[in-house]
Structure 1
C-alpha cells in the first residue's frame, strides 16, 4: 500500500508522477524530473513518488544493500529529497541535516526512525523509516465535521504524548507539533514525524530573523506555535504542551482554538476560549491551562498535562476510588509511597538536566570569550555532556569555532607561490592538526573535510615541485655559492613540509665533475674558479662529500684565492692588505710568460712590448714593489734594456739610445712607486 501524502494546509500541492526518462547526469536532473529507477549513492533506488511539498519530495525507495542481506520487504524505506531548485535550498538542506542529527538519537516506537543524512552532488536527502498510513490531518478531513470522538482522540493522544515525553527527556523540543506531523499507520500505530525544526533546550534563533505570518516561521507553523517559540525564547516542554493542546481542542471540536491565528497576535484580555462539548467541566480547566498564552501558566511537562486531562474526565469516579484508597490506607500507603518515589526520582532527573543546561551555557560563554583561533581548543570542556545537549551546544558554537579556523586556513593558503621560503609557506602540519581537532567535534562538516583535502593536495604538490627544482639544480652544475644557497633554502622548505623527506643526493657523476673542475682550476691557476668551487662546498649543508674533495688541495690555493679576490674587488680594496704570497702563487704562470718574452727580446719593439705586458700585470693585480716575482721580472727587463743600450751605442744609434735610456728611467720610477693605502699582508 502506498503511503498517503501528508502536508499542512499552508503548503498544498498535488503530487506529480515521476518522469520516466533519466538520461541526464544526476547533478543536472531537476528534482521534479527524478525518475523511478534513479539510484542515489549507488545504493538507494527510487521506486515511486509518494508525497511532495513546497521544498521537498518523498519517495518510496529500496535499499539495494538490504536486498542482498534480507527479504525484499525489509529493504523498503522512505527517501526525503530537498528541492535544490528552490530559493531557500541552503536553509532547507540545513533543516534536513538538523532533522537527521536530532532524530537518529531518539529511539522510541512512536517516533519515526531517521537513518541518516546523505548528499550526492547537489542532491541532499534523508533516509527514514517507511510508514504505511496517513496523517491525522488527512484523517480529520475525511471525517464528519472534521472532528473525532473523545475515545478516538485519546487513542491518538496517549502515544503522541509518550513520544514527546521521550524527546523532552533527551532535551529535544519538537516545536512544530500539528496534525500533519502525527501519522496513523495501517497497523494502528502512532508516529510523530518531522523533527527538522526541533530545538534543544539551548537553541535560540538570531534576533534579526524575519518571518512571514502567513506561512511557517523558520519551519514552525504559526497556528500551532506557542508565543515563546515565535518570540524566539529558549525552548521548553511547555511549547509542545501548547501545540498538543491546540491539536486536542481541534480534533474534539473541529475548530482551531484561536481561529488559526498566530498566538503572539492574540489579545488574551479580549479573546475568550469556548469549551468543546466533548470536554468535561473539570477537564476544561486543564485544557485552558495548557492553551494559556503565557508560558509560566501552562503545564511544564506533557506528562502532567495528559495525566490531569485524562484523570479529570471521570473526576467523581476517581474521588470515590480515593476514598476507598484512604479507607484501605494500609495497602494504599505502599502504592502511594512508590508513586511519590517515582515522582521524586523524575524531579531529581529534571533538576539534574537543568543544572547541566546551566553549566553548559557557562561553558559556551567561556569558549566564546576566547580568541577566535583558540576557541577550538576549549571544545574538550563539552566532553561528558549528554549527547543531545552536546550536539545543541556544538550547533550554537559552529560560527564561533569552525568558521574562524576555516577562514584562517583559507588565508594561509593564499601565500606567494613565487617566493618559496621557510618563513613564507604555511605551517601545513599545524593547520592539519587544527582541522583534525575541530573535525572530532564536527565530523559531518563538509567544509572541514574539503579544506583538509585542499591542505593535503597543496602540500603534496609543493613537495613534488621543490623536489623537481632540486633535480634541475644538480643538472645545471654551476657549483656556485648561489647554487648552494638555493639548494639549502629548498631543502629547508622540504624538511618543514615533511620531516621524513629525504634530501635529493647528487649522482656519482656530479661528484666526478666537481672534482675535475677543481683540478682544472688549480692547473690553470684560476683563482676565481677555485674560490667559487670552494665556497660552494662550504655553504652547501649536509654535503660532507664535497668538503672532502679539498683535502688534497694546496692550502695556498684555497686561502690565496679568497685573499686575492678580496684585494682585487674594487668596492673593498682599500680595506684589504696586499697579499704577496697569494699573488706569487697565482701569478707564477703570468710572470713565466713575461720572462719568456724578455728572453726573446732582441729588438727595441720587443723590449717595449715586454714592458707593456709587465705594466699590465702590475696594474691589474696592484702588485707591490717588493714582490719577488715582480722584482725578478723588473731586473730582467732592466738588464735587457741596459744590454740593448750598450749595443746601440756601439752602432751609434743615438736616437734609440735616448729612447731606451728614457724607458730605463721610466721603469725605475714605476718600480719604486708605492701603492696607496696598501700594506703588505703576512699571509
Structure 2
C-alpha cells in the first residue's frame, strides 16, 4: 500500500511500523521542521455501532494525560489529531533513533550485567514518574523500549497501551502481550503501577537469562502460567547468577501485587546491589596483578590495566626457585630471560 503524502499537517516521509491499532510513519512537521513519529489510530477489524466514537473520545483523553509526562526516558507526545473525513486519528510523538529491545533480545540474546543495571534503573525511574502522575502503561515489553546510541532507554506508547486494554476486543483478538502481563491483568482485575513492575521483572528475567519466564504455544497456555506457575529461578538458566537474583525476581514476579516491591525503583536498587555483590565475588576470585599485588577492581588499582598483566607476579616466586636451584634443568638463555622478567616484575611501575 502506498504511503499517504500527508496526514493532518504532517508530511509523511516513510512507514516505519504497522500493528493491530494502526501504522507508524516517520513524518515532518512543516511548521517548525521537526521530525516526528506519527502513529495512526485505526482497528484492523470493524467496531460495533457507537464503539468507535467511544474509543476515540477515550483516546483523546488518554493522549492528553500522557502528553503531560515529561521525562528523559519516556517518548514525548507532541500532538494529537482527530479523525476526519481525510483520514484516521493520529498521535505525533518524539522520533527516536536506536535499537528496539525486542530486536536486541531476539534469539535469546543477553546484555552485560552493567548494562542490565543501567537499563532497569532508567526504566524504573520512568515508570515511577508516570505512576506518580497517575499514568499506568499496561503494556511494558521489549518492543515498547528503545535503547539509543548514548545508552539512554526510552519507553514508547504511553497513552495508547491503556486503550488497548480497555475492552475493545473480538474473538481471536488479544490486546496486550500475555508474556509480560501481570496476573491481575490476565484475570481482568483492577491494576496499578505494580502491573508495570511485574512486566519490568519479566524483562529483567529475560535480560539475565535470555529466556522468557512464561511461555506456551497459545495465549491460553501463557496466561495460565502467568496466573498459576512460578518460573524457574534465573540462576538455573544462567549459573553465573547469584541467589540474590532469584530472590529479587521471585518478589517482582509475585502473583499477588501486594507481595511485589512498593516502587519500581526499589526493584532497581536491589538489582544494582546484587550486581555489585556479584562483582565483588568475582574480584575476590581474581589473582593479584603484576604491578600492585592488589586484586583486580580493588580500591586504588589501575583500571587501565585490567587483565593485561594478570598473573605474572604470581609466577615470579616459581621462577626464583628455578634460578637458585643448582639442579635446574633450564638452559642458560632461559635462566637469563626469566631473571630479567623477575627483575621487571619487582621494579616500580610508572
* 179 and 221 in structure 1: CA distance in 2 versus 1, 3 angstrom threshold: same
**Could you say which residue in structure 1 is the equivalent of 2:108?**
145
Contact 1:103-1:114 within 8 A present in 2 as well = yes
Instruction: Answer yes or no: is 1:240 the counterpart of 2:202.
Output: no
Q: Provide the residue aligned with 1:133 in structure 2.
A: 98
CA drift at 1:169: 1.1
Measured in 1, the distance between the counterparts of 2:228 and 2:94 equals 45
> 1-side partners of 2:229 and 2:191: how far apart?
27
CA distance in 1, matches of 2:29, 2:94: 12
Flag the structure with more relative contact order, 1 or 2, with Cα contacts below 8 A and sequence separation at least 6: 2
1:65 aligns with 2:47: no
1:540-579 to 2 correspondences below 5 Å: none
1:298 corresponds in structure 2 to: 260
Report the Cα offset of residue 111 of structure 1: 0.3
* Alignment counterpart, residue 113 of structure 1, candidates 72, 76, 94: 76
Equivalence map 1:178-577=2 (5 Å): 178-197=141-160, 216-217=174-175, 220-259=176-215, 264-266=223-225, 271-276=230-235, 277=238, 278-315=240-277
Distance 2:248 2:257 in 1: 14
Structure 1 distance, partners of 2:62, 2:99, is 21
CA contact (8 A) 1:283 1:312 kept: yes
Structure ranking higher in helix proportion: 1
Higher-Rg member (1/2): 1
Aligned-CA RMSD value: 3.1
Taking the aligned partners of 2:16 and 2:223, their CA distance within structure 1 comes to 35
Structure 2: which 5+ runs fail to align?
281-350
3-state DSSP class of the match of 1:216?
A: coil
- Going from structure 1 to structure 2, the CA distance change for 1:102 and 1:221 (only over 3 Å counts) comes to farther
Matches within 5 A, 1:146-165: 146-165=109-128
1:147, CA displacement in angstroms? 2.2
Unaligned 5+ segments in structure 1 are 1-17, 20-33, 68-74, 319-683
On the 8 A contact 1:282/1:313 being kept in 2, the answer is no
Structure 1 distance, partners of 2:55, 2:65, is 15
Going from structure 1 to structure 2, the CA distance change for 1:81 and 1:179 (only over 3 Å counts) comes to: same
CA contact (8 A) 1:102 1:195 kept: no
What is the CA deviation profile of residues 12-68 of structure 1, one whole-angstrom value per residue up to 9, with x for unaligned ones?
xxxxxx52xxxxxxxxxxxxxx43xx2333x2111111212233111111111113x
2:67 paired residue number: 104
| Displacement of 1:93 | 4.1
The residue aligned with 1:47 is: 13
Whole-angstrom CA distance in 1 between matches of 2:211 and 2:140: 16
Of Structure 1 and Structure 2, which has the larger fraction of its residues in strand?
A: 2
Match in the other structure for 1:170? 133
Any idea what SS the aligned residue of 1:245 has?
helix
Q: TM-score, normalised by structure 1?
A: 0.36
TM-score normalised per structure 2: 0.67
Distance 1:269 1:118, change over 3 A: closer
Note if contact 2:242-2:278 (Cα within 8 Å) is conserved in structure 1.
no
**Contact 1:237–1:300, Cα closer than 8 Å, also in 2:** no
8 Å CA contact 1:226–1:264 kept in 2: the answer is no
- CA spacing shift, 1:95–1:112, aligned 2, 3 Å: farther
The whole-number CA distance in structure 1 between the counterparts of 2:226 and 2:60 is: 37
Q: 1:184 to 1:266 in 2, by over 3 A?
A: same
Hey, what's the Cα distance between the residues in 2 that align with 1:267 and 1:168? Answer: 23
Q: Which residue is 2:22 aligned to?
A: 56
Q: Rate the CA distance shift 1:228–1:134 in 2: closer, same or farther, 3 A.
A: same
Equivalent-residue separation in structure 2 for 1:96 and 1:63 (angstroms): 22
User: Cα distance, 1:180 vs. partner?
Assistant: 0.3
Partner of 2:326: none
| C-alpha contact (below 8 Å) 1:107/1:113 kept by paired residues | yes
Q: Give a deviation string over 1:108-147, Cα, whole Å, max 9, x none.
A: 0100011121023242111111111231001222xx6322
CA deviations 1:126-185 (Å, max 9, x no partner) are 1111111231001222xx632222222222211111110110111211111100011112
Residue 79 in 1 paired to residue 31 in 2? no
Q: SS of the residue aligned with 2:32?
A: helix
Residues 304/63 of structure 1: CA separation in 2 closer, same or farther (3 Å cut): same
SS at match of 1:111: coil
What displacement does 1:272 show?
4.9
